[in-house]
Amino acid sequence: MPNDEPEKVTETDFDLEELDEPVAGDDSYLKSSARLAIAAAAFEGAVSPSVRRKIVARKNPTAVVIRVPTPAWIGPIGAYWSKHFGAAWKQVLRDGSDNRRHSADKGSDEVALELTERSVVGIAADARILPATLVAAADFRINIALPSGELMAEAVARYHGKPHDCDFSKISVLGLDFPDILASFRANSSPREIRRRLAAISAKTSLDNVSQSLPDLKTAVEYGEARRWALNLAQDIEDFRAGRIPWSAIDRGAVVYSKDPGLGKSLWARMVAASCGIKIVESNVADWASSGSGYLSDVIRAERQVFAAARALALQSQAPCLLFLDEIDAIPNRDKMSDRNRDFWTVVLGDVLSNLDNGLAVDGDGWDEGENKRGRIIVIGATNRIADLDPALMRPGRLERAIEIKRPNYDGTLNILRYHVAGDIPDGDLGEIAVLIENATGAEIMQCVREARRLARRRKGTLSSADLRAAALPRSDLDPETLWRICIHEAGHAIGTLASKSGAVKRCVVRENGGGLGETLIENVDLVLPTKDDIENRAVAVLCGRAAEEAVFTKASSNAGGDLKSDLAIATRLVSSLYTSVGLGGSLAYLADSNEVVELLRNDRLLRLKVEKHLAVLHRRARNLMRRHREAVTAVAESASSSERTTPASAS
């Protein structure tokens, strides 16, 4: 029985010794342009001489599909094909730049007609955008990976037209696109000069150096649940490599999110790759829209190039890899799109979803039977606005789960400090500083250490705990009266929290940092199902800052208001939730979540009056508490004004 299956060609067919055999159209030892030399090395590294002979020897029209690492390789491989297999072939080159024409349902009729008379070759980074008929009818399917160091040496020999003895075995072009490689081949350059340029440009990528200068994920307790998930992933990948589990047992991906910027999501992704021992491709989704002229075709092309780069990396390394998509919320949620933007972004989202399903396939997109359609690529997204993600992105088999990265607790803060001081300050001294800046973001802690090192340089000394403390609690330029009022306000929060039994006070300090003048770190009672009393008690503690000012100074200042993070905004959202979302205010109707409630209050006068009346009642409770505990408020304020941390014991 004849074998009707298409010839499947992979890089494993290649045998270096076979290069000595004469092959039709082979001019390995003739001087070539750099563009053709690189393309030839990559192509002939993926296709053995025997297969190349089969293609040349076929008498009948032949269909060939070639998948290249990225769209930038399409032109060079097409030029190589014309030179080595003849210009009589019909070439179908698709880079995804024309979203209307570059799709599987376009061009099949023309391909079918061409195949009745001559051979057709299709070249693309994503086989799904080639005519469906060409893919289905292909006699040969070729995967071209990024060339290895040995193949780069062969490319240099072709470029110079003669052999050389320069060792390229340690050269890696992972993470480089065709133009990056081509830029190293300059006129009159020796093999060693080309090798030096390749090494220099490769060193600028993070793919081969991902584990250098990174914190150890095993001890990075500041990442909480994200750390635990990543360590499980690393163990799963180790089990897969050992043959204990199939790839299908491994998570496809996740989205990490945080409510504040600066919590190290990008750093965490690199740490995950290092912990798993895999390469990483990084892309900021917001940059897709700024590529080219901003047309739909430009965005689609930029998006597909990212996915193609991940697939090329996995193909070349023959190992799992990680694709990190930062600011993934730049792809809008269809439920929240305006009619004006819906047509544009629906196409982009659809293409992303398709790529998540099968566009990352290495060996399982219909070319071969694989364990899953995506191939051995893990996708991690990152966002500060998890609510803005389209639910389809989170479907099982795509990104699957959302993991929050929170502000670090004491242990996490201490670990971040330990990493940045790099042994210059003993752990025993770091503990005191960790208490003072607990709950700061990783970026804020890094800035604090940087400022401490600057202070040490100014006094011509080495970094000390005193420098770190001075950076954490910089001297305030506020006048004494304003400083004292701020101390009273923060002390009010501390005492109010304890008196209302709504949480534990971790510290109470006054400092000018990030626009804030004072800070009381409170660990709220962790209630899974808070009651109306629980919500009211939290609102009272929040209002106690303003109430303390009234108890001590008779009149309050504007310190409690001003923006969406202010005391009044927080208390308003807490009380509003009773009436709009949790059914504890006399109505069971769900009206809005905490992010939408302010707009709802602006437009609903009756609701606004109801919330205002409730806030007034709670504010009276807060004032009564502050009058009753005025001496404690003053004592805590005095401690805070002297830059001493306030503990629960001293507050009580």
| Residues 57-99: tens digit of each pLDDT | 888 999 999 999 888 999 999 999 999 898 889 999 998 877 7
What average pLDDT does this structure show over 291-299?
A: 76
Distance between CA 556 and CA 544 in Å, rounded?
A: 11
What average pLDDT does this structure show over 26-50?
A: 80
11 lies in some domain: yes
122 lies in some domain: yes
Q: Specify the CATH number for the domain of residue 241.
A: 3.40.50.300
Identify the band that residue 446 occupies on the pLDDT scale cut at 50, 70 and 90.
Answer: very high
For residues 277 and 335, membership in a common domain is answered with: yes
| Helices 296-317/339-354 angle, 10° precision | 20
287 lies in some domain: yes
pLDDT over threshold 90, residue 272: yes
For residues 627 and 489, membership in a common domain is answered with: yes
pLDDT over threshold 60, residue 589: yes
Torsion of CA 449, 450, 453, 457, to 10 degrees: -160
**Bigger pLDDT: 649 or 227?**
227
For residues 537 and 577, membership in a common domain is answered with: yes
What average pLDDT does this structure show over 212-241?
A: 92
Distance between CA 109 and CA 129 in Å, rounded?
A: 15
Last residue of a domain, one of 433, 452, 472: 472
Distance between CA 505 and CA 490 in Å, rounded?
A: 11
179 lies in some domain: no
Domain that holds residue 446: 410-472
Q: Specify the CATH number for the domain of residue 584.
A: 1.20.58.760
Distance of CA 268 to the CA centre of its chain: 9
Any idea which residue has 């009149």 for tokens?
A: 555
How far apart, in Å, are the Cα atoms of 617 and each of 324, 610, 614, 634?
A: 49, 11, 5, 24
Per the confidence metrics, is the pTM higher than 0.85?
Answer: no
pLDDT over threshold 90, residue 491: yes
**474 touches 509 (CB < 8 A):** no
For residues 370 and 445, membership in a common domain is answered with: no
Confidence (pLDDT) at 360: 54
Average model confidence (pLDDT) for the chain? 85
**568 touches 561 (CB < 8 A):** yes
pLDDT over threshold 90, residue 359: no
Confidence (pLDDT) at 24: 38
Identify the band that residue 21 occupies on the pLDDT scale cut at 50, 70 and 90.
Answer: very low
For residues 599 and 451, membership in a common domain is answered with: no
In three-state secondary structure terms, 283 is strand
Confidence (pLDDT) at 210: 52
Supply φ then ψ for residue 322, to 5 degrees. -115, 135
pLDDT over threshold 60, residue 616: yes
The DSSP string of 413-475 is HHHHHHHHHTTSS-HHHHHHHHHHHTT--HHHHHHHHHHHHHHHHHTTS---HHHHHHHHSPP
Number of domains in the chain: 4
**630 touches 500 (CB < 8 A):** no
For residues 442 and 382, membership in a common domain is answered with: no
pLDDT per residue over 550-568, tens digit each? 999 999 999 999 888 899 9
**Bigger pLDDT: 505 or 422?**
422
In three-state secondary structure terms, 187 is coil
Last residue of a domain, one of 437, 472, 507: 472
pLDDT over threshold 70, residue 594: yes
Distance between CA 445 and CA 129 in Å, rounded?
A: 47
For residues 301 and 431, membership in a common domain is answered with: no
Q: Pick the most confident of 5-14, 205-214, 630-639.
A: 630-639
For residues 346 and 330, membership in a common domain is answered with: yes
Identify the band that residue 374 occupies on the pLDDT scale cut at 50, 70 and 90.
Answer: low
95 lies in some domain: yes
For residues 142 and 254, membership in a common domain is answered with: no
> Please, what sign has the CA dihedral across residues 147, 153, 156, 161?
negative
Query: H-helix or E-strand containing 521?
Result: strand 516-524
Q: What percent of the chain has pLDDT over 70?
A: 86
